[in-house]
Amino acid sequence: MKRRAFITAAATAPAALAAPSIVSAQAQHNWKLVTSLPRGLPGPGVSAQRWADRVTAITEGAIKVDVFGAGELVAPFATQEAVESGTAEVYHGSGSWFSGRDTAHAFFTAAPFGLTFDEMHAWMYYGGGQELLDEFTAPRNLKVFIGGGSGVQTAGWFKKPINSLSDLQGLNFRAAGLYGEVLRKLGVNPTSIPPGDIFASLQAGTLDGAEWVGPSNDLAFGLPNVAGYMYAPSPVEIYGGIEFGIGLDAWNALTDGQRVMVEAVTEAEANRSSGDTLHAHLQAYEKLRAMPDLTIGTFPDDVWEAIITASREVIDEVKQTSDFHGRFVTAYYDYVRQATEYKRYYDTAFLIERQKFFS
């Protein structure tokens, strides 16, 4: 029995000795994720927590991610800078909210007459979009991934009807990124404020109108209670994307396998978040349609014509910023043009016939 015990101990000794060295070789990464959105906000707020939970789970705790909602650690629109400075390892927000630092960033989330969420995913994963995003964000010490899109958003909520282009003149309107730049050319006074301040600003009268996301998010924010006119679709908030930005120091400290895991979780979240938002929009739109005091419409023709002209001007201005901006914007709209032609024959034609099916 003693001999057998000795043999058993000898056989298990290498594993017992090896285990501590394996554990010690596995570095622990404690990440702080700062989101520009309120913690647990339906849709994008839930997405941030789901991403954090899945990264922690798939790495078996080797990467532990703690989420801080808007204002809990840094100001809502200071999340990107917090990662650049090392205050946090990951930010979660829309490139449109950070476009004041560089307008080009907005193209990865919301661009005039741009890519829908399925087209954006195709461009990012296979059409060269991720490589351009890496080139754009690496100088800021960031590794950025798209994290899902809301789909075509609401153009805006207004306190009075928009019957002509003149009705937009002088309005104080909450709009971020390129949408704000387009509306500015139409005589609107755009202002970019954090999402959590939209309702109070409309209620107080400091805003005459606002864009947020779409039916589910707009309803959750109570916008029908403070603005009786809803117009869709948006000409700019097409993908309506959210992104995850990781500090390059934190990213490079991971093993190759851990980077694959984080990337896989992020790609899965981009799909999951997009599906989650669309499903919620479908339910919320039915509730909005049933509201007797809410007017739902689309912009009149002269507004659309002015938006098209202004959008072309904004796009040209961004292209002239630098050689990279010219290269990037050209590549983006080459893909938009290709997708538009394809969908004209397939998606658009089908959607017209599908409406007839239900009429």
| Backbone phi, psi, residue 317, to 5° | -65, -40
pLDDT at 186 over 60: yes
Q: What is the pLDDT of residue 2?
A: 42
CB atoms within 10 A of CB 37: 25
3-state secondary structure of 206: coil
Q: For the chain, how far is it from start to end, CA to CA, in angstroms?
A: 85
Say how many CA atoms lie within 13 Å of 57 toward its Cβ.
Answer: 8
pTM, two decimals, is 0.88
Cα(280)–Cα(289) distance, integer angstroms: 14
Q: What is the pLDDT of residue 17?
A: 42
> Which of 11-25, 29-43, 248-262 tops mean pLDDT?
248-262
Cα(157)–Cα(220) distance, integer angstroms: 14
Instruction: Give the pLDDT mean for 124-142.
Output: 96
3-state secondary structure of 255: coil
Cα(76)–Cα(69) distance, integer angstroms: 8
Number of H helices, E strands in the chain: 13, 11
Average pLDDT, the chain: 91
- Point out the least confidently predicted range of 22-26, 56-60, 84-88: 22-26
- At 8, the pLDDT band (50, 70, 90 cuts) reads very low
CB atoms within 10 A of CB 106: 28
Cα(173)–Cα(229) distance, integer angstroms: 14
Q: What is the pLDDT of residue 43?
A: 80
Q: Residues 233, 155: contact at Cβ < 8 Å?
A: yes
Helix (H) or strand (E) segment spanning residue 239: none
- Pseudo-torsion of CA 197, 198, 201, 207, nearest 10°? 140
28-150+239-280: CATH, from 3.10.100.10, 1.10.10.60, 3.90.1010.10, 3.40.190.170:
3.40.190.170
Give the β-pairing of 29-35 and 90-93.
parallel
Q: What is the pLDDT of residue 42?
A: 79
Cα(344)–Cα(336) distance, integer angstroms: 12
User: Higher-confidence residue: 332 or 177?
Assistant: 332
Dump the DSSP string for 65-119.
EEEE-TTTSS-GGGHHHHHHHTS-SEEEE-GGGGTTT-GGGGGGT--TT---HHH
Q: What is the pLDDT of residue 144?
A: 96
Q: pLDDT, tens digit, for every residue of 221-231?
A: 999 999 999 99
R_g (Cα) of the chain, nearest Å: 24
User: Higher-confidence residue: 243 or 20?
Assistant: 243
Q: What angle do CA 125, 131, 132 make, to 5 degrees?
A: 115
pLDDT at 150 over 60: yes
pLDDT at 25 over 80: no
Helix (H) or strand (E) segment spanning residue 11: helix 2-25
Q: What is the pLDDT of residue 40?
A: 82
Q: What is the pLDDT of residue 105?
A: 82
pLDDT at 127 over 80: yes
Cα(204)–Cα(9) distance, integer angstroms: 76
Instruction: Give the pLDDT mean for 252-259.
Output: 98
- Point out the least confidently predicted range of 101-110, 119-128, 149-158: 101-110
Dump the DSSP string for 116-160.
-HHHHHHHHHHSSHHHHHHHHHGGGTEEEEEEEE--S---EEESS
Q: What is the pLDDT of residue 9?
A: 42
Q: pLDDT, tens digit, for every residue of 30-83?
A: 999 999 988 888 788 899 999 999 999 999 999 999 999 999 999 998 999 999
Instruction: Give the pLDDT mean for 92-100.
Output: 81
pLDDT at 293 over 80: yes
SS3 content of the chain, % helix, strand, coil (to 5): 55, 15, 30
Domain range list for the chain: 28-150+239-280
Residue that the structure tokens 């285990």 belong to: 19
